[in-house]
Structure 1
């Protein structure tokens, strides 16, 4: 049976991973989403399809290629060699990289929708007042796209919390390093620890319900403010 120390260790590792990934995605996804919303390029939908691949690819497929990329023979091995390690696989940094890629569409799509909802009128008004492009972006587009930012942050955080396939493929089941909550549940079931499995699983169910409710309320409230 999982002891309280193991449970809290898995909870803390999961929350740390989710917060780290969400923060990185807010930075990484913003220029991608803005470009997809504003660019006239004909091939931008091909880029959008590549970003959205994790939505339809089996996690094991994505996890397999990430395992190769992060392993000793891939780019991850070269990066890890900078501090004397052999691989980024089966490590917390590897989990962060894999989770950022796996959760990217959950941040990009809401942000793209948010930027597209701004429309052209506020941008033209800002340009008429002499606002530079970067000022218009930070002072007009980002505030008006706040619903997309909030929705994307909530969805990315929740999706990272619930990851299993990719995390198992590239992180394994190392206590204190890669054993997040989803892996802890899998480990508990393997050991036939039904009590521990119920405790962790019910906690995830409650978290999922709260996340969905929060997303719906955010959309509803910001929709009223926009109206």
Structure 2
């Protein structure tokens, strides 16, 4: 049986931090965006929805390539940061965090949009008529009635981030302790023909993915039964 060494534990640490930060940031960003997509009346919603959903059909290497061009030392963002005295974002944890947020966005936005779409206007209107402010309405009415959407969004975002490979490899490479996540380490082990290590890590991610989907489906079905 393969025993994890420093490289594996280091990759696990980077992966977990990336998943946690991506999930938290995306929930904060996706909540108002999903509400606007579900309740807004602007004609531009279809365009925004298409942009948000692009990572579902766009090859990860394409997104990774353009992010590398933009965040590298010669890119618009990278060059601007260097002119301001900072380091460019290519091959850095901050860079792959931004890439992960963009690449996992539909997995946060779509479940929340679906949950908000099924929320009638009546509960919010009643809370508003009773003098509840926007924060109160969200905390006492919107969130309790759409909590399943938040659970699904957080779970899928975390799990999808853990499985990211192409966009991370393109933008971050394989720098130990900085950008080498589990999926990249599996690739490195397989390339070095260290199949035992690659198998152990792959099996761990396979089990994690299965359990994640099982939790999502079970929770969604249970919430639907309770709501009925």
TM-score bracket for this pair, using the shorter chain length: over 0.9
Contact 1:91 1:178 in 2 (8 A): yes
Partner of 2:19: 18
> Deviation per CA, 1:31-81, whole angstroms, max 9, x where unpaired?
110110110112211111111001100001111111111111221342355
| Counterparts of residues 1-227 of structure 1 (less than 5 Å) | 4-73=5-74, 74-79=76-81, 82=84, 84-85=86-87, 87-227=88-228
Paired with 1:115 and 1:3, the residues of 2 have a C-alpha distance of 43
Q: CA deviation at 1:137?
A: 2.9
Paired with 2:4 and 2:153, the residues of 1 have a C-alpha distance of 34
Paired with 1:145 and 1:124, the residues of 2 have a C-alpha distance of 16
Secondary structure at the aligned position of 1:118 is classed as: coil
Q: Which runs of 5+ in 2 are unaligned?
A: none
Contact 1:95 1:167 in 2 (8 A): yes
Contact 1:185 1:197 in 2 (8 A): yes
Q: Which runs of 5+ in 1 are unaligned?
A: none
> Deviation per CA, 1:181-205, whole angstroms, max 9, x where unpaired?
0000000010001111111111111
State the TM-score, normalized to the length of structure 1. 0.94
Paired with 2:147 and 2:79, the residues of 1 have a C-alpha distance of 38
Q: CA deviation at 1:97?
A: 0.3
Q: CA deviation at 1:82?
A: 4.4
> Deviation per CA, 1:97-129, whole angstroms, max 9, x where unpaired?
000000000000001111111111212222332
Contact 1:2 1:188 in 2 (8 A): no
Contact 1:80 1:88 in 2 (8 A): no
Go from structure 1 to structure 2 and tell me whether the alpha carbon gap of 1:221 and 1:81 turns closer, same or farther (over 3 Å shift).
farther
Contact 1:10 1:180 in 2 (8 A): yes
Paired with 1:82 and 1:185, the residues of 2 have a C-alpha distance of 37
Range with greater deviation from structure 2 (132-141 or 37-46): 132-141
Paired with 1:57 and 1:161, the residues of 2 have a C-alpha distance of 18
- Provide the aligned length of Structure 1 versus Structure 2: 226
Range with greater deviation from structure 2 (28-37 or 130-139): 130-139
